[in-house]
Amino acid sequence: MTSLVEVNLARRKWRIATKAGFLPKSALGEAIAYANLIFCTLSRHIMQGYLGIDNNFVEKTLKDVVRGRKFWLFAGSGKGGRGAMTIYTLIQTAERRGVNPYVYHAGPTAFSAS
């Protein structure tokens, strides 16, 4: 079985060998040059196992932001919008950590009412 590192290095060798056969301004020439340019960045997830190769969590989180955008238009003011975003960020962070946001935020706010 071939490891991901070996596959990645084989692709890089292929790109270097193939690059000479295409004009730099051709579509494939530009694609090969770009892939060679960002080789280290693309390989980072292989060398550092804790980094994910996708960003599905971020995309899912941003969908909620986009849905809420029309509601934030009517936050009353810029200060109200920033406050709403701060609360929204805290809720999203709690959910990301697997904590019930209501329970997490009810604790500190229950004591601040006095």
Does residue 39 sit in the same domain as residue 65? no
Q: What is the pLDDT of residue 66?
A: 77
Summarised one tens digit per residue, pLDDT across range 52-104 is 677 787 787 777 777 777 666 667 777 877 887 788 888 888 888 888 888 77
User: Is 52 strand, coil or helix?
Assistant: coil
Contact 14, 7 (CB under 8 A): no
Judge if 39 and 69 occupy the same domain. Answer: no
Question: Which structural domain range is residue 64 located in?
Answer: 56-111
Q: What is the pTM of this model?
A: 0.42
Task: Note whether 70 and 100 are same-domain residues.
Answer: yes
